[in-house]
Amino acid sequence: MRKKLFRQCYSLQILEKGKQMNLEKYLREQRKWLDKIDDAVKNCKLALFDFDDTLIIHNNHSSFTDPDEHKYNIKVFEGTYNWSNGMANRHMKEMLELLKSQGTQLGLISATFSFKHMQTKQEHIKQIYGVELENYCVGPSNHKVPLLEDLTVAKGLKRNQIIFVDDKGDLISKAANEGFIALSPMQVVNYIEWKDNKGENIFYE
């Protein structure tokens, strides 16, 4: 009975040790990714941010299913639309301020309906975040990555000197495959948390 109990306790110890080793390996991999983002930020010359659910987090997602967008467009053209159902994000603010402090050019790359929509989004970002973003907005969202490619030529930049932040997985995947530094909003959150904690573990206590 004692031998059986000893074997069970020993097996549990081995299992717990294995779990701990897996966790440590996982945390090492996470730190590697955060180090890569940190290097990319330091090397960045141009950073472009999406608007919807990236810089401005929407609360009322049902509004996107409304087939009648005329009310939205009319309010934009009247100058009365203010994205009252959207929230700013502290981590995005810190990211913008960090990039700005090192002289990185900042831009807005949102899929929009008209130039007035672009201007309205720029003004809203300036009001909420206190940062001016240059207009790099497009029509359809699938024009975003080709625009990044054209900017490398126009500005004489390498692809790894451009950061592209967007919530659409297909877009950041395509941008990454083309050699750009593509980040999701949650990667920005993790990176800023890591910076705020001076490189300490941010995943587990």
What is the reported pLDDT for 205? Answer: 46
Model pLDDT for residues 10-60, shown as the tens digit of each residue? 454 555 655 566 877 877 888 889 999 999 999 999 999 999 999 999 877
Residue 88 exposed, middle or buried by CB count within 10 Å (0-12, 13-18, 19+): middle
State how far the Cα of 97 lies from the Cα of 33, in Å rounded to an integer: 21
Query: What is the chain's Cα-based Rg?
Result: 22
Q: What does each C-alpha distance from 126 to 21, 27, 52, 165 come to in angstroms?
A: 46, 36, 15, 18
State how far the Cα of 185 lies from the Cα of 175, in Å rounded to an integer: 15
H or E segment to which residue 51 belongs:
none
Asked if residue 126 has pLDDT above 70, the reply is yes
Average per-residue pLDDT for the chain: 86
175 pLDDT band, cuts 50/70/90, is: very high
Asked if residue 93 has pLDDT above 90, the reply is yes
What is the reported pLDDT for 77? Answer: 86
What is the reported pLDDT for 62? Answer: 62
Joined tokens for residue 28: 């090492």
State how far the Cα of 82 lies from the Cα of 113, in Å rounded to an integer: 16
The model's pTM is: 0.83
Model pLDDT for residues 63-86, shown as the tens digit of each residue? 554 546 778 788 888 888 877 778
Asked if residue 152 has pLDDT above 60, the reply is yes
What is the reported pLDDT for 56? Answer: 93
Closest CA to 52 of 150, 120, 101: 120
Residue 176 exposed, middle or buried by CB count within 10 Å (0-12, 13-18, 19+): middle
Asked if residue 157 has pLDDT above 80, the reply is yes
Joined tokens for residue 117: 């929509």
Closest CA to 133 of 52, 75, 51, 77: 51
What is the reported pLDDT for 159? Answer: 97
Kindly provide the residue ranges of all beta strands, DSSP E only, lying in 64-183, ordered along the sequence.
86-87, 105-108, 134-135, 162-165, 181-183
**H-state helical runs in 84-130:** 90-101, 115-129
SS3 143: helix
Asked if residue 99 has pLDDT above 80, the reply is yes
